[in-house]
Amino acid sequence: MDKYLKKNLDHWNEVTPIHARSPFYDLAGFKSGKTALRPIELEELGDVKGKSLLHLQCHFGMDTLSWARLGAKVTGVDFSGEAIPLARSLASEMGIDAAFIQSDIYDLPRVLDSKFDIVFTSYGVLCWLPDLTRWGQIIAGYLKKGGVFYIVEGHPIMNMFETGTENVGMEMNYSYFPGNCPTEWAPGYDYAEWNTKIIHGTCEWTHSLSEIQNALIDTGLRIVFLHEFPVCCYRAHPSLKQDAQGWWRLEGDRLPMTFSIKAVKD
């Protein structure tokens, strides 16, 4: 397991500076006041003013700091030694009160002993986690009584299709259901900067929608809703076209490409 996690850590340390300068993340726009949050999570999570918020797998903190701008008391967590210093630097530069912790999500209980009103995570996080049972336990452990967990994420069905190819159609080449080992990807091009060749490959774990839900239910969290959307936050396949709001869509909205879950600790 350690070799897979190490491979992914090397990858994220490599791509963090690439992301920071990419148009996809638009760091300059963010610094000038643009939010990094999208309409789905803004509407579904609602007012966060005065609430403590733990952001798991926060990358270099743009979403975390966006929640802080809306009044949340934020703590961001990521395992990358490149991402967390950048997040802290952004918070300092922009005068935003935010805490950032460098930690693998499974090791977090060793370094953070707090309870939160909200635990949040989003877009491209679950494929890096080998154990969703432990993930669910960690989430539940950090929530106050009455606290809310919210995730918005790429729909698992999209992992069945070949991505980044120039085929006209979408080829279904992968299983929906988890295997015994992660899928290992050779070095290629990054989703945020297609013209930049990446040196480090990745290892990704497949998780079905039922596995994700049950990892939360089994800890005693109550699912408030599960929503599915025919939009993607990035161009996962050349067949997708961008709409006026910046979402990527398949003609006819025929596939769910994003889902969200809200759960409560009663």
Per-residue pLDDT tens digits for 115-154? 999 999 999 999 999 999 999 999 999 999 999 999 999 9
Residue 185 has pLDDT above 70, yes or no: yes
Count CA atoms closer than 13 A to 102's CA, side-chain side: 13
Residue 169 has pLDDT above 70, yes or no: no
Q: Please give the pLDDT value at position 125.
A: 98
3-state secondary structure 78-102: ECCCCHHHHHHHHHHHHCCCEEEEE
Q: Please give the pLDDT value at position 174.
A: 87
pLDDT grade for 194, boundaries at 50, 70 and 90:
confident
Residue 167 has pLDDT above 60, yes or no: no
Q: Please give the pLDDT value at position 179.
A: 83
Q: Please give the pLDDT value at position 214.
A: 98
Q: Please give the pLDDT value at position 1.
A: 58
**Which are the contacts of 30, defined by CB distance < 8 A and separation ≥ 6?**
36, 62, 65, 66
Handedness of CA 20, 24, 25, 27 (dihedral sign): positive
Residue 10 contacts residue 185 (beta carbons within 8 Å): no
How many CB atoms sit inside 10 A of residue 164's CB? 12
Which spans in 95-239 are helix H? 132-142, 209-217
Q: Please give the pLDDT value at position 170.
A: 73
Euclidean distance between CA atoms 36 and 50, whole angstroms? 20
CA distances from 127 to 74, 114, 117, 122 (A): 24, 26, 25, 12
Compute the average pLDDT of residues 27-51.
98
How many CB atoms sit inside 10 A of residue 253's CB? 11
Domains by residue range for the chain, with CATH: 2-264 (3.40.50.150)
Q: Please give the pLDDT value at position 178.
A: 87
Tell me how far the alpha carbon of residue 228 is from its chain's centroid: 16
Which range among 1-15, 55-69, 89-103 shows the weakest confidence by mean pLDDT?
Answer: 1-15
Report the share of the chain in percent with pLDDT over 90. Answer: 83
How high is the mean pLDDT of the chain? 94
Q: Please give the pLDDT value at position 38.
A: 97
pLDDT grade for 165, boundaries at 50, 70 and 90:
low
Q: Please give the pLDDT value at position 166.
A: 56
Compute the average pLDDT of residues 107-111.
97
